Amino acid sequence: MPSTAGVLLVLLTFGLVAAEQPCHELVSVSLENATEVLAEGSVLLDGLTFPSSAQYRDEYGQLRGCPCLVMKCIRFCCQPGEFHDKLHKDRPGLCYKPSANETADEEFDLPPLPDGILDPEVSGYDDFYRIHRKGCVVPAQYGIYLSGRLAKNSDLPRISGDGHFVLENTNIDGVKTNYTHEQERFCVAYSRIHNTTKILACNSPAEDSRVKMENAMRWSETAANWLSVIFLIATFAVYSLFSSLRNLHGKTLMAYVACLTMAYAVLPFIKHAEIQNNILSDNSCKAMAYIVHFSFLASFFWLNVMCFDIWWTFGGFRSLHGSVKQRERKKFIMYSIYAWGCASTLTTVCMIMDLVPGIPAHIIRPEFGRGSCWFNSNKARAIYFYGPMGVTVICNICLFILTAHKILKHKKDTARQLKGSDSKRHDDNKQWFNLYLKLFIVMGINWSMEIISWLLEDKLPKSVWYITDLTNTLQGVIIFIIFVWKDKIRRLLVKRFGCKGNNFLSRNSTSRSGCPTSSTSRTTCVTAAPLQEKINPYADSYRGKATVTDESDCI
């Protein structure tokens, strides 16, 4: 009699002793519609027997059962025939069915699984008890695509015989790690946009905290990147604005700033893709990787050019033939060929290794776009990125040591020989040397810490390197402070744009109009004469005297 069975079921369920919930709510089913009670408190639902040990009451007093404790089960994110997409327009929910005027690319009740996903002992979905319920233990989740362009070669996903999701991940060092997800920590869905089955995996509480921290650090680094871009553009604009600043050193600085601007303008998109679980297409990912690789390498070589040029200047070597402008133009062309050429060559090698078929498997390739929009192994990073960077850093250290030794060695002789404007030219050269030295120290420390963090990546928590990474992304601000936030350039800006009221740009001005006057600061810089001739005014190739001016080539 159904009524008798219902009464017995009610009495039985109210007699259950409150105990620890045997399974998570996400992998439970309602037993309220069960009408048959078996011996020892077991309940029969949909042909599956739920013993009392697989039953519990939820917070609303509803009786629920745990099918995964009775047989192997699998959870689907959506109802049969539904798609799951984040970006599907006009639909607030993640699960949806095509509307009447839409045609589905593939008709199915359950998401099809590619070959090799299920363990050999499992023949298909029929071996599982199927639960249709979306959700995660924690808010954070990530998608693992089983096929198509978003499938990562570094991931080997499979569903085990007991219904657990196992993700075998291979890191950039080739070390394999298995991550096991219980049924409440993953569900299977089908993406109509990407035309593939995917696994929505849920982080554990500990992983959730770690992911939130890493994402917060990525967002802060992204903000620092954009801040750097703003200050780098400002630096480039200031040096473009005044012809007096566009001497050889100003042009090399502008080239260096342009490289960093290009790199830091692209990096935020890569970081955003990492936070959003690689939403970039393969081609976009690779293109951005090549741009960042070329830009950073070019910046290393331009910094090397600065160090070489200041060493050449203080070394007393003979200048090139021709007028001042011709000599500077020749040097800048040679420097450009070196910096742009070396960076282009190395990036071209990366493109050839990645894009040209038939490269032997034993040769280390960059593999941009495989797993992330950067190198896929530490060996590749060492060969194609950190190696060239390390060589330029070592060269720069040697050049600065030699230059400093040259300055100290001839300090007394220079003081006796140089008089008047020649002494001022020498001071100008030392100012540029000091500026370059500051730049190299800051950039050298930052990139050295980058190499150290790369070498010790798995030995220390990522939070340890957060400060150095953040400082590295703020290079644009540092460059602006070193090369632009100077009294001389502030006076040039005021003179160019005029001033009204109080002049906040000039710290030394005391005039009532707020504009700096000639008596408020001392100009010690000169015009067009190149640094080589300024430091060595008695060279055979230089006979003339430079004219002291307010809008000089120094800062």
The domain limits of the chain are 2-71, 75-203, 214-485+523-535
Q: How many residues does the chain have?
A: 555
Name the more confident of 290 and 490: 290
pLDDT at 198 over 50: yes
Query: What average pLDDT does this structure show over 59-66?
Result: 89
pLDDT at 87 over 50: yes
Give CA–CA dist 118/100, Å, rounded: 34
> In the prediction, which pLDDT does 269 show?
86
Structure pTM? 0.67
Asked if domains 2-71 and 214-485+523-535 share a fold, the reply is no
Q: Using one digit for the tens of pLDDT, what is the confidence trace for 293-333?
A: 999 999 999 999 988 988 887 766 656 666 667 888 899 99
> In the prediction, which pLDDT does 231 show?
96
pLDDT at 86 over 80: no
Secondary structure of 137-153 in HEC code, one letter for each residue: CCCCEEEEECCCCCCCC
User: Which among 63-67, 175-179, 470-474 has the top mean pLDDT?
Assistant: 63-67
Band the pLDDT of 66: cuts 50, 70, 90.
very high
Query: What kind of fold does domain 2-71 have according to CATH?
Result: Methuselah Ectodomain; Chain: A, domain 1 (2.30.160)
Mean pLDDT, the chain, whole residue set: 76
Query: What kind of fold does domain 214-485+523-535 have according to CATH?
Result: Rhopdopsin 7-helix transmembrane proteins (1.20.1070)
pLDDT at 270 over 50: yes
Name the more confident of 526 and 464: 464
Secondary structure of 68-134 in HEC code, one letter for each residue: HHCCCEEEECCCCCCEECCCCCCCCCCEECCCCCCCCCCCCCCCCCCCCCECCCCCCHHHCEEEECC
Name the more confident of 503 and 205: 205
Question: Distance of CA 9 to CAs 6, 67, 69, 301, 511, Å?
Answer: 5, 19, 21, 79, 94
Name the more confident of 551 and 291: 291
